[in-house]
Structure 1
């Protein structure tokens, strides 16, 4: 349903503008209204984009997609990172999660600003 190349291009553009997008905003850009089933499909594409980027030595882009309520990625983003990152915060909300997320967002912003 979602073209990974199109989603990746949108996220690279956001990174270069030092922006984040809410799940709803990204779905809107892709021509959809927010629904939980569409969000779950989008999250699978985001995971795939990050896996491919990791293989190329790129920082993750999915971290740029956040919940409107608190500006953090969804729980699934943290869970997907668990097998390969041992520096994850213990909680998926709160100050520690925010610091971790903002550091990963800065990596994406810096990388794509320089690319």
Structure 2
């Protein structure tokens, strides 16, 4: 496994802030917050960190946060989220695009928004 792009705690803090504000964040926006310009290699490295953030969230009994990081083009998580089990663990085995995918993502994002709007950030 390669060196993480950023400290998972810093990435988590950005995602918790987005969730508390009730908004998703694009890969480009999150990379910019972390001090990087968007590139596919940086995005892939970020996805590894997002997996670590979600694993820790699950251990804490918190809703997942990686689903908040979306493509600018359609507001959906990228391929990495879908193939890493993000969708399958929620029973979604269909397309990574379209109405069913958007419904799943909105449901998961709403859960994070509700949870973090009621809790103070760490």
Same fold (TM over 0.5): yes
TM-aligned CA deviation for residue 89 of structure 1 = 4.3
For residue 34 of structure 2, the aligned residue among 30, 35, 57 is 30
Looking at structure 2, the residues matched to 77 and 68 of structure 1 have their Cα atoms a distance apart, in angstroms, of 15
C-alpha distance after superposition, 1:21-63 (max 9, x if no partner): 1000000111110011100000000011001111111110001
The answer to whether the 8 Å contact 1:89/1:96 transfers is no
TM-score (norm 1): 0.94
For residue 106 of structure 1, the aligned residue among 107, 110, 114 is 110
Q: Does structure 1 residue 97 correspond to structure 2 residue 101? A: yes
Structure 1 residue ranges without an equivalent (≥5): none
C-alpha distance after superposition, 1:62-110 (max 9, x if no partner): 0100001100001111122269615114110000000000000000000
* Deviating 4+ runs (over 3 angstroms): none
What's 1:61 paired with? 65
The answer to whether the 8 Å contact 1:89/1:100 transfers is no
Range with greater deviation from structure 2 (99-108 or 49-58)? 49-58
TM-score (norm 2): 0.89
Structure 2 residue ranges without an equivalent (≥5): none
* RMSD (Å) for aligned C-alpha atoms: 1.5
What's 2:79 paired with? 75
SS in 2 for 1:85: helix
Q: When the two structures are aligned, how many residues end up with a matched partner?
A: 115
What's 1:10 paired with? 14
